[in-house]
Chains A and B, each alone.
Chain A
Amino acid sequence: MINLCTMMNQESKKVIFLSVIVIVFSGILLLFTFALSQQTTPITLLSRLTSILYIPTHNICYLGRLGGLHAYSYFYFLIWLSIVIIRFVRIKFHLQSIPFYRFVVVTTFLVYFLLMAFQTVNQLKNFIQEWDVFHERSKEERKLIIFGDIYTFAKYCQKLLPGYHRSELITDLDTSRDPGMYMHRALAYHLYPIDIRSVHADEPMDSVVIYHKKGARDFVPDGFAIKGIFNEYNILAVKKDMAQ
């Protein structure tokens, strides 16, 4: 049993060793070929790969393109070329007894780690960028960085109108699609307990939030008076009896 394990281990080492050599060779070959075909240097290609493999969003992680090719295609090429080369050279290394399938899996695993290494560099860059932006900033400043005037206007309204208030939003934004839709939701989130999403639908409206509206002053409804002017596009109005 021990002999079998030792044999297996030695076999695995040989498979990994050969696969690594072939992947390095194929990688260099591919790198120079692609660089030549795109009239650039291998270093430029490599450095591009450290910035196009981590573009995350909440719905999907996008990939950049490199010289008109899908970023992963380089890694798929690398797997394919390495396997083709291994298919022929394993005879030279007297490894015919090991199933070819094992070389395929080990090669894919190794390319997976290579891709992961590039991904990690991408991720680290992202990490450093976010660190630079957010560290040593107060919580308020961080929200300001992300939300800009959505946040400052919401805080301005809350300062003028503390507590719960049912409110109506008047805006030029198209709130049925992004980016207006997201801006509406973000504003509602930061405004609450000033409620522009009709959470208390049964209660009467006592205020109007005018946001991103050209000529905002002209859209204050009858019976309402301006409570505060944030700027020419953003105004908070309340019922006249509350204005004093």
Chain B
Amino acid sequence: MFEIILGLFLAVGIPLGLGYSVVIVLFQKRPLGILFSLALAYGLGMGLLTQWMLILGALKIPLGVATIGLPLISLTIGLSIAITVLGKNIKPLTLSRSNVTEQKWDVLSIILALYVLYCVVYIFWRSLSIPIADWDAIATIAFKAKVFFDERSLAHLKTLPYDSYPLHVSFLETWIAMNLSHWDDQLIKVIFPLTFLSYLSIQYYFLRIFVNRRWALLGNILLVGSNFFMYHATIGYRDFTLMYYNCVTIILLTLWNCQKEDAYLVMAGLFSGFTTFSKMEGMIYLLLHVIILIFILVKINPYSFLNSLRKLCKFGIPSFGIYFIYFFYKFFTKAHLVKQGTEISLSWDNLNRIPTIIYKFLENLFLTGNWNLIWVLFLLSIINPHKVKQRAAITIPLFTLAIFGVSFFLFFLLTPYFEWISVPGKEDALLSRIILHCFPLSTILIILLNSPSQENHP
């Protein structure tokens, strides 16, 4: 038992420590709250860890706890020393909570917090008590992880199923198993409830900047009110991780725009890069993130051309840098670069698909057990002419949902993936998971558009 606890502690602690020290370095001038930093550090650390595993694998260095962990620990120590030595003269500023009066814990907030706590306990119990068993989790993700764990290398990646798929989640499962010193079908899923907890914290802290505690907690309640969101936090699919990195990227871009602190932009770049290593869709999402950034630079907060270019570089270098590591690895090992069957077809016949696509979207959003009544609330929130004004904290997530919606629509309109929403037997397989990738943004918008204090948004 002690070995297991120690193994899990190391497996989570090493990347968390690295992530935390990077967050501290990035936000030296404007330190974040400790819990917000830890929540960001989790995603950052796990992302950096899997990139490091990829680099080691590409260099044919055997993957093991020592080869992976020791350099990361050294880096963490190095960064900690640098922070201690260089950070002495820095006067920290706290994260500004714009015009939101601090409230005491009232009965309603306590009830909301207890419900969120119940959900967290449930997610931890379910993830760690039920062995990995769902379709893709067992067929590709954990299967690859098991092979990497067994062979301590990426030597046979090319002959593994779906060799072009990004490896973030598989690598994390391998890493957990390595620290446990054995393959454990339950404990390898520990990353998912932690991702769940990390996302809840990030969204809560983000909303707390704009609204009071009760409304921020309500944001979390809207999240956990979705059956699909909750279920995916327990089953070992990559969609939950992709959702996490995608939505945190948007939150960081919004924070960057509101707080004018470039560290957010660099962090957003890193998180956007990690989306590309979570699932194939991540590459498209990275391009959408760039479009969102350009939208901010041109429409919301116009900078000079040179400054805009600098900002784009601060975002683009980490994000595309991360993307190209795996791209070049696949290129040089002659693995498939993209998933087969994603060819775009431009034909007038595709227009016949439009009614089916619209019907399927509406059915999924309003008549499945996935999302509760979130999308009804969302529609009601955005049609209020008095509330939707040009405020960045609202405009950026709203613009994001709009371009994601258009992209999904075009994706089904122009690619053979249309059959995944139209052919009986296949029709339920894809759409819910794609919507999940940006679903949390709707809950953020509902809160920002309906909370009384939203008049004071930056």
User: A and B from one assembly?
Assistant: yes
Residues of chain A having any CB pair with chain B under 8 Å: 8, 12, 53-56, 58-63, 70-72, 75, 79, 99, 101, 104-105, 108-109, 111-112, 115-116, 119, 123, 127, 130-131, 134-135, 139, 142-143, 146-147, 164, 182, 185-186, 188-189, 192-193, 197-201
Whether A116 contacts B133 by the Cβ 8 Å rule is: no
Contacts of B380 in A (CB 8 A): 104-105, 108
Q: Can you list 29 contacts pairing A with B, beta carbon distance less than 8 Å? A: A56-B227, A58-B232, A60-B368, A60-B369, A62-B368, A62-B369, A63-B367, A71-B369, A101-B384, A105-B381, A105-B384, A109-B450, A111-B373, A112-B225, A112-B374, A112-B376, A119-B372, A127-B125, A127-B126, A130-B130, A131-B125, A134-B129, A142-B131, A143-B131, A164-B150, A186-B138, A198-B159, A199-B147, A201-B159
Given the known interface contacts A59-B433, A189-B146, the answer about A116 and B372 at a Cβ–Cβ threshold of 8 Å is yes
Contacts of A188 in B (CB 8 A): 143
A131 to B130: give the CA distance in the assembly, Å: 10
Nearest-neighbour CB distance to chain A for B170, whole angstroms, equals 13
Interface SS, A side: helix
Which residue of the partner chain A has the closest CB to B373? Answer: A112
Which of B161, B227, B232, B432 lies in contact with A119, CB distance below 8 A?
Answer: B227
Which residue of the partner chain B has the closest CB to A151? Answer: B131
Contacts of A58 in B (CB 8 A): 134-137, 231-232, 235, 237
Please provide the chain B residues from 149 to 176 with a CB less than 8 Å away from any CB of chain A in the complex: 150, 156, 159-161
Nearest-neighbour CB distance to chain A for B374, whole angstroms, equals 8
Whether A189 contacts B130 by the Cβ 8 Å rule is: no
Would you list the 10 A-B pairs with minimal beta carbon distance, nearest first? A61-B369, A185-B139, A56-B231, A61-B227, A63-B369, A60-B428, A58-B134, A112-B373, A60-B432, A116-B225
Whether A109 contacts B377 by the Cβ 8 Å rule is: yes
Given the known interface contacts A130-B126, A142-B130, the answer about A72 and B160 at a Cβ–Cβ threshold of 8 Å is no
B184 at interface, CB cutoff 8 A: yes
Whether A59 contacts B432 by the Cβ 8 Å rule is: yes
Whether A61 contacts B370 by the Cβ 8 Å rule is: yes
- Size category of the B interface is 35 or more
Nearest-neighbour CB distance to chain A for B359, whole angstroms, equals 15
Given the known interface contacts A58-B134, A61-B368, the answer about A119 and B225 at a Cβ–Cβ threshold of 8 Å is yes
Whether B139 contacts A189 by the Cβ 8 Å rule is: yes
Contacts of B374 in A (CB 8 A): 112
Contacts of A62 in B (CB 8 A): 368-369
Nearest-neighbour CB distance to chain B for A74, whole angstroms, equals 12
Whether B231 contacts A139 by the Cβ 8 Å rule is: no
Whether A63 contacts B150 by the Cβ 8 Å rule is: no
Which residue of the partner chain A has the closest CB to B126? Answer: A130
Whether B143 contacts A139 by the Cβ 8 Å rule is: no
Which residue of the partner chain B has the closest CB to A185? Answer: B139
B105 at interface, CB cutoff 8 A: no
Given the known interface contacts A101-B384, A105-B381, A192-B143, the answer about A75 and B373 at a Cβ–Cβ threshold of 8 Å is yes
Whether B227 contacts A146 by the Cβ 8 Å rule is: no
Nearest-neighbour CB distance to chain A for B407, whole angstroms, equals 20
B186 at interface, CB cutoff 8 A: yes
Which residue of the partner chain A has the closest CB to B379? Answer: A108
Nearest-neighbour CB distance to chain A for B89, whole angstroms, equals 39
B366 at interface, CB cutoff 8 A: yes
Contacts of A105 in B (CB 8 A): 377, 380-381, 384, 450
Contacts of B367 in A (CB 8 A): 63, 70, 72
Which of B159, B222, B366, B430 lies in contact with A200, CB distance below 8 A?
Answer: B159
Which residue of the partner chain B has the closest CB to A5? Answer: B452
Nearest-neighbour CB distance to chain A for B334, whole angstroms, equals 14
B281 at interface, CB cutoff 8 A: no
Nearest-neighbour CB distance to chain A for B238, whole angstroms, equals 11
A105 to B126: give the CA distance in the assembly, Å: 34
Contacts of B237 in A (CB 8 A): 58
A54 to B130: give the CA distance in the assembly, Å: 18
A147 to B134: give the CA distance in the assembly, Å: 11
